[in-house]
Structure 1
Amino acid sequence: MTDQIARDETVVIGAGIVGLATAFHLATGGHRVRLVERGGVAEGASFGNAGAFAFTDILPLASPGILRKAPKWLLDPLGPLAIPPSYLPRIAPWLLRFWRASLPDRYRHSIEAQGNLMRFAARAMEAMVAEADLGGHVRRDGNLQLYESEAELAASQPGWDARAREGIVFEHVRGARLAELQPGLSPRFVAGTFTPHWQTVDDPYHFALALFRAVMARGAALTHGEVAAIEPCEGGVRLRLAGGETLEADRVVLAGGAWSRPLAAALGDAIPLETERGYNTTLPPGAFALNRQLTFGGHGFVVTPLSTGIRVGGAVELGGLKLPPNFKRSEAMLTKAAAFLPGLRTEGGKQWMGYRPSLPDSLPVIGTSGASPRVFYAFGHGHLGLTQSAATGRLVADLAAGRTPSIPLDPFRPDRF
């Protein structure tokens, strides 16, 4: 059975935040757009993330610093970075690439590429928020990174120096200034770093749904179904769905997040995509008087004020798509948050786990498939999908229109591995 779709239609696989932003830019540029989504709109990683536009977050996960910490963290199944022992054989090739990405020259290359993408992401997001009328969902209250000792702050300084070279504004704070930015902190925190240009949304799911409505208002269509194969064909691309249906289109954008790897592999593009399983607990509104998002970098999690409550979450568990959730990780972060924020009311929380698509160098894949110039990739953003969604959408729209992309895409090309 074949859906009769005009061959000038562009299909976007995935209605998460990256797929939605891509669909928005394509539709705004005059393309006929169809979203194909295996589940509910924005019900994957876009549903329960920390809600930040983290434009200052340019440091890759693969860094010399994290490699020094990793052995201790990996021994703690509830720590900031964990790999279930049963998953180690499967992830070993990814870990080798991760190690290579942490070498000094590659680390510097990743920072430069991420910084360039983030500067563009800030401009692209501002434009998309204005054009889609999403301003009511965005807060500009900054982020506060917290330290338990002066030694911890000093150890973080090379990262702040790298940010300074990229033009990122920040302020190291102590004493009264620290208390002003966030009253009620445990006295164990002696210093912080405030990044005023960090932004958050009222709730990432609400933001994504508002963007979805803007996409549909521009004439897009939605098909529910799981794509089993992408097949270049004469003059276009054919999609085979798991239920037996077939769709045909002029162009296809693969923005399937953590589920993108096998579809790209079937096209001959071996992309080492792994899955960061992110955990959180969302407490009811009023659980704490939180002024802005707080980052507890030494413990690998953040606490975010949302319109729907207080979200405590983060950390990295590299465990693929099939292992059952380990919600003891959510409980461990919540226990720490209660100690770090005396007075935090921890009852009534809702736990969540989502799959974040992660590449060894912390850079997404944005570019054209080696199998067809009509197939574009837009996935692998890790925990930065919301932050980089508008930029990715703009860049894919450039490629689809045959324009020179707004920034160089060589660092993000699919065949870089």
Structure 2
Amino acid sequence: MASLLSQYPGVRGSAPVPADATVIGAGVVGLSIAIALQRRGLAVTVLDREGPAAGASAGNAGAFAFTDILPLASPGILRKAPRWLLDPLGPLSVPPAYALRIAPWMFRFWRACSPARVAHSTAAQTALMDLSRAELEPFLQATGTAGMLRKDGNLQVYESLAEFRAALPGWQARADHGIAFQHLDPEGMAQIQPGLSPRFVKGTFTPGWYSIADPRLYTLALAEHFRARGGILERVEVRSLRPTGTGVQIDDDRHAGHVVLAAGAFSHRLARTLGERIPLETERGYNTTLPPDAFDLRMQITFGGHGFVVTRLATGIRVGGAVELGGLDLPPNFARAEAMLQKAQAFLPGLRPQGGTQWMGFRPSLPDSLPAIGRARATPRVIHAFGHGHLGLTQSAGTARLVADLVTGQAPAIDPAPFLPQRF
């Protein structure tokens, strides 16, 4: 506890810092920020339209994917995307009803896939991953959630030597950063994870892949810790923000010295009330959570060629992933969850598919695969902290540290420039 408290000192700096802050969003990112601000001495209120752990923080795969330093926007994705898009139930889909609306975002995504931009995004992602890894375990200790951390590793599997060879440049980039991994043949894979289909000819095991026992229970535990330290958590749908001379007006009836906008996939709507148009889109993710005894799963398995994972949680076996760029308003297409479950049965022949619960959630995604972390253009009293895509849980502790630095006027732990919301 003492080591964490030393990382979250009291408010310092030449400029006066408001004694209160309001965080909009009670997902894992918003609550981590709220706790970090509490530890800087601020009185903190969290507002959320549905309450804690109601969105992607509940239904994600539960991984702290610190080794995922490569952005989704990359030449490799561009090569795979045409084939994937031909399959409406495949790893990447765009519903026809949303195709025209997503086109400007897709153009920005395409531009972000240039080698120079990928190199820039990888360096920035690496810095945020390193910070998040360094912050995670002290944060878990301080919030009483350390017992939920698992260090089982991840196994990425390949159906052909061609698929494996295509992945090698990415593994070299990880090796250059000091990330440990081991390439395995079928016998090596069977030793650490029995029950894989023989169709997988190669695999790569990453021991430094952490996970949480259950992401929903973890986020709810953060909410309880926040409340126990005097934090206020209210179920309120915020509709507008407006700068004032002393802070930020929230709708017509609230005022805060600082506001942190961490409302996930809904954040861009509130940013618009401040005059900012940030190209946030929604990766709709699907999963099925089976009973805990559905399979003898030893670690998370990534089926990268099919865009989904199978994860062992304390509450069940979760089969999910993929990307549907379909916005916030279209009805869910649970045939996508069923398609992944059918593939999982083929890939793990002993998997029992009965008794599952389906879920769909919104991942907030920006075209260059980096989150928006930084001050609003309209006022320095609003800090944006959203757009983490698949990496909200992974980067939650690091984002909390960086936002707390910005709010209290301290030197940021890492360079925030690559994450500026105005970079688009």
Shift of 1:390: 0.6
- Matched with 2:85 is 74
Shift of 1:181: 1.3
- Matched with 2:27 is 16
Whether the 8 Å CA contact 2:281–2:365 is kept in 1: the answer is yes
- Matched with 2:329 is 322
The 5-angstrom pairing of residues 5-404 of structure 1 reads: 8-240=19-251, 246-404=253-411
Whether the 8 Å CA contact 2:186–2:203 is kept in 1: the answer is no
Shift of 1:214: 1.4
Whether the 8 Å CA contact 2:109–2:368 is kept in 1: the answer is yes
In 2: Cα distance, 1:263 partner to 1:127 partner = 32
Shift of 1:8: 3.0
Shift of 1:191: 1.1
Structure 2, unaligned stretches of length 5 or more?
1-17
What CA deviation, in whole Å up to 9, does each residue of 1:175-203 have, x standing for no partner? Answer: 33211110010000111101101011111
Whether the 8 Å CA contact 1:8–1:249 is kept in 2: the answer is no
In 2: Cα distance, 1:397 partner to 1:254 partner = 13
- Matched with 1:3 is none
- Matched with 1:4 is none
- Helix, strand or coil at the partner of 2:52: coil
Instruction: Write the letter of the residue equivalent to 1:214.
Output: H
- Helix, strand or coil at the partner of 2:54: coil
Instruction: Write the letter of the residue equivalent to 2:291.
Output: P
Whether the 8 Å CA contact 2:186–2:200 is kept in 1: the answer is no
- Matched with 2:8 is none
In 2: Cα distance, 1:169 partner to 1:111 partner = 17
What CA deviation, in whole Å up to 9, does each residue of 1:89-133 have, x standing for no partner? Answer: 101110010000001100111111101110111011122111112
In 2: Cα distance, 1:375 partner to 1:339 partner = 48
TM-score by length of 1: 0.96
What CA deviation, in whole Å up to 9, does each residue of 1:379-409 have, x standing for no partner? Answer: 0000100000011111110011100110000
- Helix, strand or coil at the partner of 1:96: helix
Shift of 1:372: 0.5
In 2: Cα distance, 1:291 partner to 1:100 partner = 39
Shift of 1:62: 1.0
Sequence identity, in percent? Answer: 61
In 2: Cα distance, 1:121 partner to 1:347 partner = 37
What CA deviation, in whole Å up to 9, does each residue of 1:107-163 have, x standing for no partner? Answer: 111111101110111011122111112111110011000011121111100111111
Structure 1, unaligned stretches of length 5 or more?
1-6
In 1: Cα distance, 2:187 partner to 2:338 partner = 31
- Helix, strand or coil at the partner of 1:317: strand
Whether the 8 Å CA contact 1:12–1:254 is kept in 2: the answer is yes
In 1: Cα distance, 2:19 partner to 2:253 partner = 16
Whether the 8 Å CA contact 1:28–1:218 is kept in 2: the answer is no
Deviation beyond 3 Å, 4+ runs, structure 1? none
In 2: Cα distance, 1:368 partner to 1:350 partner = 39
Shift of 1:344: 0.3
In 2: Cα distance, 1:101 partner to 1:165 partner = 22
Whether the 8 Å CA contact 2:369–2:389 is kept in 1: the answer is yes
- Helix, strand or coil at the partner of 2:294: coil
Shift of 1:40: 2.2
In 1: Cα distance, 2:216 partner to 2:196 partner = 28
Shift of 1:342: 0.7
Instruction: Write the letter of the residue equivalent to 1:26.
Output: L
